[in-house]
Structure 1
């Protein structure tokens, strides 16, 4: 029998930590989640925003004060304007620490997350009893890749305010990024108990369940997130991932396109769309989508990998090798990159080089089934049958 080599598809999931809706062609989800993780959704009143310490509950506000507060809370005013023009007004209404939190939010809106973090530090030095500051610090730390510190900040916010639903949802996101999927789903469930209208919590549950292989309930959770927040681009990409896994690739294309419509720079959605088109043998469309992903994120190693595989499917080995070399240069520790390079060497009959690449992939991921199969194929083609059998059996 002919031995078929395996072109690695890697994990399709590009959900990420976490938006005008189309009518999903997916079936309507049931009204209640019923996953293996018991997440109960009791009736709950939507809670208003927590009242910051030292903030007067009754303040006579002029129209100017109200507008200034609304702009600051929404982060729409430039940070300097918040500090210089609005702070005097705000300080009449908020504690000094909370005013600095508003300034931090405005800085973050401008993309100045490190400066925003410094403002949060200042806020806590003035008033260490503001759970909202700890929550926002956690969000900033999460965006800066400081996951363990973010977890500590969210836990501190919850310790200070046990009914802080958004902090539970954010902590779930942090657990998600740490690979603690069951914990992430449970924390998001706690957030929903406190506040049912919490789309990010449903998104976290969906992502966690997807990673745990519970695709039916993951789809349900993503659908709930979209229902609560119709402009939730990440939730549409979550739906697309589930649809791909269920073989509903046309539905997945619709969901991907909706995510891109809502978030035009969504490089992960373009990458997934490229993979779907390649699976459908629409290679020109796949190439266009993958190149757009790379344009949006030039250091996107896995997109170069998929582009290399797409060139290979087109029979363009020179372009495929160039793309794969770029993928490896960007991330030499990604096993998929070495597996793909092995495929390209094997395509040229350079089996010694191919074997080297497959072994690199296995060093990085010892349970990499595709690399074992491809390594066995190389030994089979070089008539080293004992090794071929060994690696096929280990796959």
Structure 2
């Protein structure tokens, strides 16, 4: 009932141009102990007919994840002034994040009818439709936007996201490529090209990652992706150098430390017959697993593999402690079955 009542209310607002201010969002002013919100509430008390104040407070509520309140203020802003295109976007965001996606989409569709040249409305609508898997509808919106503003980079990127989510990797990559041709500094498009290219072993995958790092040399996802590119292809020297470079740029990254440690553990197991070399790899693995848990104390899988590295080094007490740490946060284990941890602990205690 809530969704349909919202749509009915909003439809009436659009039909009449504005709603009766006295029937919308009338509630006692209250303190939220959030400075931005409370300050806006004071201003609203002095200027209750200022639509921009309600729009601003709606955004503040939205940022505080108070979505019901954000909805009410956005509705009030539109009731006071339905000529501001940005107020429709504010209301759509509030509806969408309060799980009223149908209402959000309807708001944007009506807004586009009223403001057919407002590019941000098309982009926001297409993004929401992609999230709720209305791919065909989203594609139609992007087609309409293409007629208004051809080769708009954000639209090309959104089209690539939709094609990717629909399983059309080749077309998605073409759209992401078109994005960076229009905007050579579109970091997210380079990352999507790298991720998809990595999956299909496409040429120039590393160059896509390097372009992302050209834009932001400390971007952790790109640093990790490049190291893993070499790691997963058994190019261990390149992988080690890239992991270390990444850690220099992001020294407190649990993920970079964890993945480098996994590689050292793998290399240690492969060099088992060369005891001194294997021990060196296990020692390095233990150090970087320790860094991973230091920088993220809830990294359950890192505790498990840290225990394995310690066990390989003959440090049974440390290994048992780390297995216990992993088991104590078993709900956070992502790649390890708790039964596997229990079996390891039983083995050490026997």
Task: Specify if TM > 0.5.
Answer: yes
- Name the counterpart of 1:326: 294
Distance 1:374 1:380 in 2: 10
**Which residue of the partner structure matches residue 48 of structure 1?**
none
1:344 equivalenced with 2:295 (yes/no): no
Where in structure 2 are the equivalents of 1:277-356 lying within 5 Å?
277-279=230-232, 280-281=235-236, 282=238, 283-292=240-249, 294=250, 301-309=254-262, 312=265, 314-315=281-282, 316-329=284-297, 332=298, 337-349=299-311
TM-score for the superposition, normalised by structure 2:
0.55
| Larger helix fraction of residues | 2
Is this contact kept in 1: 2:105–2:129, CA < 8 A?
Answer: no
Alignment of 1:185-334 (within 5 A): 185-196=135-146, 197-210=151-164, 213-248=167-202, 251-264=204-217, 266-279=219-232, 280-281=235-236, 282=238, 283-292=240-249, 294=250, 301-309=254-262, 312=265, 314-315=281-282, 316-329=284-297, 332=298
1:1-395 matches, within 5 Å, as 124=78, 126-135=80-89, 147-148=97-98, 155-162=106-113, 163=116, 166-174=120-128, 180=132, 182-183=133-134, 185-196=135-146, 197-210=151-164, 213-248=167-202, 251-264=204-217, 266-279=219-232, 280-281=235-236, 282=238, 283-292=240-249, 294=250, 301-309=254-262, 312=265, 314-315=281-282, 316-329=284-297, 332=298, 337-349=299-311, 363-364=331-332, 370-372=335-337, 375=340, 382=347
Structure 1, unmatched stretches of 5+, are 1-52, 54-95, 105-112, 384-395
Structure number with larger C-alpha Rg: 2
Q: Are 1:131 and 1:157, in contact at CA under 8 Å, matched by a contact in 2?
A: no
CA distance in 2, matches of 1:309, 1:226: 34
Q: How many residues align structurally?
A: 257
Structure 1 equivalent of residue 30 of structure 2: none
CA contact under 8 A between 2:292 and 2:302: conserved in structure 1? yes
Deviation, 1:324, is 2.0
Give the SS at the match of 1:242: helix
Q: Secondary structure at the match of 2:185?
A: coil
Q: 1:242 to 1:345 in 2, by over 3 A?
A: same
Aligned 8 A contact 1:324 1:340 in 2:
yes
User: Which residue number in structure 1 is paired with residue 273 of structure 2?
Assistant: none
Structure 2, unmatched stretches of 5+, are 1-16, 18-49, 58-62, 65-69, 268-280
Q: What's the RMSD between the two structures over aligned residues?
A: 4.7
Query: Cα 1:194–1:356, aligned 2, differ >3 Å: closer, same or farther?
Result: farther
Q: TM-score, normalised by structure 1?
A: 0.50
